[in-house]
Amino acid sequence: MNASKQRQPNLFAEIGYYIIANKLTAFLLLTILISALAVVQITHLTRQQLIQQDELLQQRDELDLQWRYLVVEEEFYSQHARIEEIAKMQLEMKRPTSKDEQVIVLP
């Protein structure tokens, strides 16, 4: 009965005593823990930056596509034949003949 009533060792107390007794081991353990947390943090930040880069690349591609559509539209609206047709049909303009031309001489 005496053997079963003996005090069982407290695991946390034993670990704490061992760490205090071996300061170099405690320092190395703390260094490893800090290093592991730093790796996790840097990995997280890197993934966030990659996600942001992907979003910006997608936005760039969308803007590039929109710009190309605008260039095509600008070329369509600035065609000489189209402008001449609108001038004739809507504004009822015509090319002047040699009789309609007047020469102005400046003194």
Evaluate if residue 1 carries a pLDDT over 50: no
Position with higher pLDDT, 91 vs 46: 46
How far is it, in rounded angstroms, from Cα 18 to Cα 42?
32
- Over residues 92-107, the mean pLDDT reads 84
In sequence order, what DSSP letters do the residues of the chain get, joined into one string? -TTTTSPPPPHHHHHHHHHHH-HHHHHHHHHHHHHHHHHHHHHHHHHHHHHHHHHHHHHHHHHHHHHHHHHHHHHHHT-HHHHHHHHHHTS------TTT-------
pTM for the whole structure: 0.51
How does the average pLDDT of the chain come out, rounded? 86
* pLDDT tens profile 65-93: 999 999 998 888 878 888 888 888 888 88
Cβ atoms of residues 60 and 54 within 8 Å: no
